[in-house]
């Protein structure tokens, strides 16, 4: 799906701003989709609803929530007019002027619907009902049992049972279930004959083929541009050539533009000449062995929740450059298109992850078909981004389960089939009994999350080093590249300890030094991504001090002690040929 664009043939109008809002219940109230809300609250879109009000009901909400926006717009006769949502978590129903337009499932990818037959010039009423419930069949996966049941040995448990067992979300994942209209809403127009989709394949020799799907079946005209200069011209589906192309490199990105034209439509698709593949135990970018230095991240911030914050995205990339990182993973869901556009421009390598976290034996049968769809949709949305160098099918599924191999291999094949660039594919695993893992080594790159010294052998870094070493010896035998996609320790900013005890900034620093000492011994380890870039909000619990504190930066992006360690370490590690 193309990102909406304002150009000489297309208009783009933002509907972002203050919307009317009401929290609903567990049953859908259709009236809230047909008529103006009574006594609505006011909320900003795009942003999650949970943290926008000083009101616990918003924070803990379970079930439906209703958004409404009134708008007028100058309608141009004969134009195709499209309403587009960047992401609404987790599922929604959209009405315009009392009529249902679309239902969409999944909180991290865009969807759109034509509205030219349903809009009026004045006073349109757009209504969106959003459901934030998660369960065994959603991605991400929610639990369906109440953990408070563990307290059932209390002598008076029966009397509190009703209260404890109230319906609420029990995420099977460690990030706050921020929901609502999380990304921008816009209306854009095209001609009736329009460009539906564009796929660019460019190899480092300078050959480029631009495929364009058009509504009329007409073959689109293609120009390859560098700035204003036309380097090559032809038609969609033809091989075009750019002599001595400037490659897209890590930290030194260079983007070209494919101008795709029909008589009355036009789209400017950025692309790059760069090549990604694995070879033996190396991960090659433009033929050179790459070393990933970076983070697992979240889309998470104060007030916005999981809502897009482009200023924060700019800051995060700037902090990554400050710390000498070159990459991150979109843990644990597809990030906004705006962030990927930024990474294309900034030369940051991205591992793009499907929203599949918390998968286990109970969910496998229920998520499979939907997982295939969401994976294909993600790759279709993101296929042209040079910044994406690998796809991740899921984070930490139960990959020891007997069902795991048969679940993941079709997804692995699907990812390769959907991707015109055939980027490497991985599944990020974390199993204590890693010898029995059925998925990790079947992927192109083995990606491991590991918390020795924290969850396993808490505080004991000697034991942690030994355990990490044993695990690396095991995975070395597969002769594939391996990355540590998560490792880390909580550090509460401002807690210091000369003895480097857990939760102090010193312990976090010592932890990373110890782990990196082991990882550095193994040339097949092609990357280290610390967990997490920044502190982030999670579900409340005894394991979390106002959220997960494994950030190398605080939630408001201030460096902890370990940030200075990584800045120094990564300055000394080149992007290419490390340990080679």
Tell me the three state secondary structure of residue 143: strand
d(CA 44, CA 65): 14
Per-residue contact flags (x/-) with ligand BDP for residues 41 to 60, judged by CB under 6 A = --------------------
Q: x/- string (CB under 6 A) for ligand BDP, residues 309-348?
A: -----------------------x----------------
For the question of residue 486 being annotated catalytic, the response is yes
Q: Which is nearer to ligand BDP, 281 or 299 (CB)?
A: 299
User: 509 to 548, contacts with ligand BDP by CB under 6 A?
Assistant: 531, 548
Determine which residue in the list 323, 343, 411, 430 makes contact with ligand BDP, applying CB under 6 A. 430
- Token reading at 540: 């409340």
The answer to whether 35 and 63 are in contact (CB under 8 A) is no
How is residue 537 written in tokens?
Answer: 């909000």
Closest to ligand BDP by CB, 396 vs 471, is 396
Binding mask 350-389 for ligand BDP (x = CB under 6 A): ----------------------------------------
Between 309 and 486, CB nearer to ligand BDP: 486
Residue nearest to ligand BDP (CB): 174
Cis peptide bond upstream of 532, omega within 30 = yes
Q: Which is nearer to ligand BDP, 23 or 456 (CB)?
A: 456
Closest contact distance (angstroms) between CB of 489 and ligand BDP is 9
CB of 343 to ligand BDP, least distance (A): 21
Catalytic residue among 112, 299, 337, 486: 486
User: Out of 174, 300, 353, 398, which residue is the one contacting ligand BDP (CB under 6 A)?
Assistant: 174
The least CB distance from residue 5 to ligand BDP, in Å, is 34
Reference 335, options 387, 400, 292, 269; nearest CA is: 387
Smallest distance from ligand BDP to CB 174, Å: 4
Among residues 265, 377, 396, 398, the one that binds ligand BDP under rule CB under 6 A: 396
Supply the minimum distance, in Å, between the C-beta of residue 458 and ligand BDP.
12
Told to check if 486 binds ligand BDP by CB under 6 A, we report yes
Contact between 208 and 198 under an 8 Å Cβ cutoff? The reply is: no
Nearest to 343 by CA among 402, 285, 386: 386
Q: Out of 395, 421, 426, 508, which residue is the one contacting ligand BDP (CB under 6 A)?
A: 395
Show contacts with ligand BDP in window 202-231 (CB under 6 A). none
| Interface size with ligand BDP, residues (CB under 6 A) | 10
Separation between Cα atoms, residue 83 and residue 493, nearest integer Å: 43
Q: What is the dihedral sign for C-alpha 10, 11, 16, 19? A: negative
Give the 3-state secondary structure of residue 554. coil
Cα separation of 508 and 263, whole Å?
Answer: 59
Interface map 548-577 toward ligand BDP (x if CB under 6 A): x-x---------------------------
End-to-end CA gap in the chain: 40
**Is 402 considered catalytic here?**
no
Cross-sheet strand order for the sheet of 80-85: 11-14, 185-190, 80-85, 111-114
CA angle 198/199/205 to nearest 5° reads 135
Question: Least distance from C-beta 550 to ligand BDP, angstroms?
Answer: 5
The 3-class secondary structure across 241-287, one letter per residue, is ECCCCCCCECCECCCEEEEEEECCEEEEEEECCCCEEEECCEEEECC
Closer of 250 and 359 to ligand BDP (Cβ):
359
Nearer Cβ to ligand BDP (174/281): 174
Which residue lies nearer to ligand BDP by CB, 489 or 525? Answer: 489
Cα separation of 468 and 428, whole Å? 17
Omega into 140 within 30° of 0, i.e. cis? yes
Closest approach, Cβ 201 to ligand BDP, in A, equals 33
Pairwise CA distance, residues 4 & 222, whole Å? 19
Task: Give the residue with the Cβ less far from ligand BDP, 21 or 178.
Answer: 178
Should residue 427 be labelled a site residue for ligand BDP when binding is judged by CB under 6 A? Answer: no
Kindly state the smallest distance separating residue 549's Cβ from ligand BDP, in Å: 9
Q: How far is the CB of 516 from ligand BDP (least distance, A)?
A: 18
Is the CB of residue 89 less than 8 Å from the CB of residue 182?
Answer: yes
Pick the closer one to ligand BDP by CB: 177 or 395.
395
Q: How far is the CB of 481 from ligand BDP (least distance, A)?
A: 20
Active-site residue among 396, 471, 505, 528?
Answer: 396
Q: Is 449 an interacting residue with respect to ligand BDP (CB under 6 A)?
A: yes
Please choose, from the candidates 300, 280, 306, 282, the residue with its C-alpha nearest in 3D space to the C-alpha of residue 292: 282
Q: Establish if 508 lies at the interface with ligand BDP (CB under 6 A).
A: no
Q: Which is nearer to ligand BDP, 223 or 535 (CB)?
A: 535
- Length of the chain in terms of residues written: 580
The H-or-E segment that residue 389 falls in is: strand 388-395
Sequence-separated (6 or more) residues with CB below 8 Å from residue 342: 310, 313, 314, 317
Burial 190-219 (b: 16+ CB within 10 A, else e): bbeebbeebbbbbeeebebbbbbebeeeee
Active site residues: 396, 486
Q: Site residues (CB under 6 A) for ligand BDP?
A: 174, 332, 395-396, 430, 449, 486, 531, 548, 550
């Amino acid at each position: 799906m193309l990102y909406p664009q304002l150009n000489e043939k297309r208009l783009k109008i933002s509907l972002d701003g203050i919307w009317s809002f009401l929290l609903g219940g567990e049953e859908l109230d259709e009236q809230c989709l047909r008529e103006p809300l009574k006594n609505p609250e006011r909320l900003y879109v795009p942003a999650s609803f949970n943290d926008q009000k000083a009101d616990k009901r918003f924070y803990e909400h379970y079930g439906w929530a209703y958004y409404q926006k009134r708008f007028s717009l100058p309608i141009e006769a004969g134009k195709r007019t499209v309403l587009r949502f960047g992401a609404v978590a987790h599922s929604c129903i959209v009405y315009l002027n009392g009529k249902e337009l679309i239902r969409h499932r999944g909180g991290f990818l865009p969807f759109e619907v034509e509205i030219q037959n349903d809009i009026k010039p004045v006073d349109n009423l757009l209504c969106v009902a959003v459901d934030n419930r998660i369960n065994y069949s959603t991605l991400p996966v929610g639990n369906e049992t109440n953990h408070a049941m563990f307290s059932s040995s209390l002598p008076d448990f029966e009397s509190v049972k009703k209260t404890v067992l109230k319906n609420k979300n029990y995420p099977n994942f460690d990030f706050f279930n921020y929901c609502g209209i999380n990304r921008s809403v816009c209306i854009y127009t095209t001609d009736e004959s329009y460009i539906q989709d564009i796929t660019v394949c460019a190899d480092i020799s300078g050959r480029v083929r631009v495929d364009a799907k058009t509504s009329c079946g007409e073959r689109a005209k293609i120009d390859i541009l560098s700035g204003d200069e036309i380097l090559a011209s032809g038609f969609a589906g033809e091989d075009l050539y750019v002599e001595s192309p400037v490659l897209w490199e890590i930290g030194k990105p260079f983007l070209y533009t494919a101008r795709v034209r029909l008589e009355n439509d036009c789209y400017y698709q950025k692309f790059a000449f760069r090549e990604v593949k694995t070879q033996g135990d190396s991960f090659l970018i433009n033929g050179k062995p790459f070393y990933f230095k970076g983070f697992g991240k979240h889309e998470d911030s104060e007030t916005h929740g999981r809502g897009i914050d482009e200023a924060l995205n700019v800051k995060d990339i700037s902090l990554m450059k400050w710390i000498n990182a070159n990459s991150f993973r979109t843990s644990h869901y597809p990030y906004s298109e705006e962030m990927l556009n930024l990474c294309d421009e900034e030369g940051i390598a991205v591992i793009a992850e499907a929203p599949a976290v918390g998968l286990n034996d109970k969910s496998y049968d229920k998520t499979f078909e939907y997982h295939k769809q969401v994976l294909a949709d993600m790759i279709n949305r993101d296929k042209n981004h040079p910044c994406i160098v690998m796809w991740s099918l899921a984070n930490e599924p139960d990959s020891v389960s007997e069902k795991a191999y048969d679940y993941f291999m079709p997804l692995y094949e699907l990812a390769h089939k959907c991707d015109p660039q055939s980027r490497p594919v991985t599944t990020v695993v974390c199993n204590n009994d890693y010898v029995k893992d059925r998925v990790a080594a079947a992927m192109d790159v083995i990606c491991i999350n590991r918390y020795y010294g924290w969850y396993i052998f808490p505080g004991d870094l000697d034991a942690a080093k030994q355990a990490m070493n044993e695990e690396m010896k095991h995975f070395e035998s597969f002769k594939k590249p391996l990355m540590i996609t998560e490792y880390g320790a909580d550090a509460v900013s401002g807690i210091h300890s000369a003895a480097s005890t857990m939760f102090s900034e010193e312990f976090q620093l010592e932890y990373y030094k110890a782990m990196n000492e082991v990882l550095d011994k193994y040339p097949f380890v092609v990357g280290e991504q610390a967990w997490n870039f920044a502190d982030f909000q999670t579900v409340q619990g005894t394991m979390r001090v106002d959220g997960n504190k494994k950030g190398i930066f605080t939630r408001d992006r201030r460096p902890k002690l370990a940030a200075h360690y990584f800045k120094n370490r990564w300055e000394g590690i080149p992007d290419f040929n490390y340990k080679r």
